[in-house]
């Protein structure tokens, strides 16, 4: 029997410096209203969905961008609307936990239950100023490496894993989540534009979906934000690596698809990537960080 789920990537346009959280949440609520109207059951917002992508430069006034609790007061309307509509959703944000800070995401089930937080593991850029001017981002300056490990959550509609931005560029991310039984991997991102940025973005997500026979939902914060262009390309990808829905803009946009989770069954039987693995030969992956 088919197991259909209506999913959506809630891409947002830029959140420029000085934008109040309440304004951002209003935009997220409009996307949620559209999702509810279209019968969406899983809604995915981007990485750092409540703030500008502040790690694009080094600054000292960064405390303003961090939340100490989730749901924070300002996002309560989002949680309440989703609970009333029985809509599961993913939200990325900057988290402060004591004296440590993380690039974090939560998954909220249709009944309003918040699963444990996932904290981004792969942090791009530098932890210090770049005198050569080559660095595009400085996430290690702001965030600690995530300490949660890769998690798969038993939501009511599907088994869902979370990746955040740079995580999606590592094959290990998809494999760790796939081996835990993930059916859908959601990945929010803020990615500076460069000539092959959109191609690379789609390449890694399609490969991860195909190599692990699962669905991937990638969602961007996009557009020109405080002078930096961020790519769009939000999409829904099948277990065969096929893009079945893709953003047409770099602004606020809902990208929807009706997926059949049982599509994974013949795919996994045919390719059997998990069953034909030989972990006894893969020790080098965990023994070495680089060549």
At how many degrees (to 10) do helices 171-179 and 197-212 cross?
Answer: 30
CB atoms within 10 A of CB 172: 13
pLDDT in tens, 78-136: 999 999 999 999 999 999 999 999 999 999 999 999 999 999 999 999 999 888 877 88
Copy the structure tokens of residue 197: 């940025």
The yes-or-no answer on residue 156 being catalytic is no
The percent of residues above 90 in pLDDT, for the chain, comes to: 96
The yes-or-no answer on residue 176 being catalytic is no
The yes-or-no answer on residue 145 being catalytic is no
pLDDT at 134: 78
- Is the pTM here over 0.85, yes or no? yes
Q: For 205-214, what is the mean pLDDT?
A: 98
Residue 196 to residue 270: CA distance in whole angstroms: 32
Catalytic residue, candidates 56, 95, 120, 157 = 120
Domains of the chain: 4-287 (3.60.110.10)
Catalytic residue, candidates 56, 157, 165, 221 = 165
Q: How would you label 241-264 residue by residue, b for 16+ Cβ within 10 Å and e otherwise?
A: bebebbbeebebbbbbbbbebebb
Tally: H helices and E strands in the chain: 7, 15
pLDDT in tens, 159-193: 999 999 999 999 999 999 999 999 999 999 999 99
CB atoms within 10 A of CB 180: 14
What is the β-pairing status of strands 223-225 and 243-246? unpaired
Provide φ and ψ at 92, rounded to 5°.
-95, 145
pLDDT in tens, 23-72: 999 999 999 999 999 999 999 999 999 999 999 999 999 999 999 999 99
């Amino acid at each position: 029997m088919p197991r259909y789920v209506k999913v959506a990537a809630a891409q947002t346009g830029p959140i420029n410096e000085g934008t109040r959280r309440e304004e951002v949440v209003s935009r997220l609520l409009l996307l949620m209203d559209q999702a509810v109207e279209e019968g969406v059951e899983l809604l995915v917002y981007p990485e750092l969905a409540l703030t500008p992508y502040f790690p694009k430069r080094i600054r000292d006034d960064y405390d303003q961008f961090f939340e100490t609790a989730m749901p924070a007061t300002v996002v309560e309307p989002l949680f309440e609307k989703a609970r009333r509509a029985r809509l599961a959703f993913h939200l990325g944000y900057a988290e402060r936990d004591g004296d440590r800070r993380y690039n974090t995401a939560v998954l909220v089930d249709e009944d309003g239950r918040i699963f444990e937080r996932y904290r981004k593991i792969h942090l791009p850029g530098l932890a210090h100023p770049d005198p050569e001017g080559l660095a595009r981002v400085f996430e290690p300056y702001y965030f600690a490496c995530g300490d949660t490990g890769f998690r798969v959550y038993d939501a009511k509609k599907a088994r869902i894993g979370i990746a955040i931005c740079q995580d999606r560029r590592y094959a290990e991310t998809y494999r760790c989540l796939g081996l835990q039984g993930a059916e859908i991997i959601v990945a929010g991102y803020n990615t500076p534009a460069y000539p092959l940025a959109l191609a690379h973005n789609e390449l890694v997500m399609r490969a991860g979906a195909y190599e692990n026979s699962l669905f991937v939902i990638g969602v961007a914060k996009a557009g020109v934000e405080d002078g930096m262009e961020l790519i769009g390309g939000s999409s829904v990808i099948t277990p065969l690596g096929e893009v079945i829905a893709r953003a047409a803009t770099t602004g606020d946009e809902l990208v929807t698809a009706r997926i059949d989770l049982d599509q994974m069954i013949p795919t996994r039987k045919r390719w059997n990537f998990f069953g034909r693995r030989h972990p006894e030969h893969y020790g080098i992956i965990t023994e070495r960080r680089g060549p």
